Amino acid sequence: MLQKFGNGSTKMTLKGSYQPISPGKRRKRWKQFCWKLVHNALPTKDNLVKRKIEVNLMCAFCGEKETSDHLFLNSEITKRLGEARADQNQTWLNLVAIALDIWIHKNNIIFRNEKE
């Protein structure tokens, strides 16, 4: 969510968060997310099992086995987002933004009991 201030500046905040995220922290978060995504280091459910952490392997969105490929390429929410944004220019930055949105939404469903 973008917050607009009287002086014309804007800051980005996550839904449910009351602290603005500075541009420097936002870039760091994106870099970390991109690195983890590319290196299959995000704590997806299949990666947690590989680390000997017991979790339910089912995807929070559709009930299939959660892997990085499934979550970011093949899940129902990814397909819906892809259809909704089909008319937009799909630069790598837009694709990372979509992946980060999916990741945050999935975690909100699991840890904050939000609805899909």
CA dist., res. 9 & res. 11, Å (int)? 7
pTM confidence score: 0.69
> Which amino acid is it at 46?
D
> How do the pLDDT tens digits run along the chain, 116 residues long?
444 555 655 444 444 444 555 667 778 888 999 999 999 999 999 999 999 999 999 998 888 999 999 999 888 888 887 777 666 666 777 788 888 888 998 999 888 887 76
* Cα 12 from chain centre: 15
| Cα three-residue angle 18-114-63, rounded to 5 degrees | 140
User: Which residue ranges make up each domain of the chain?
Assistant: 30-111
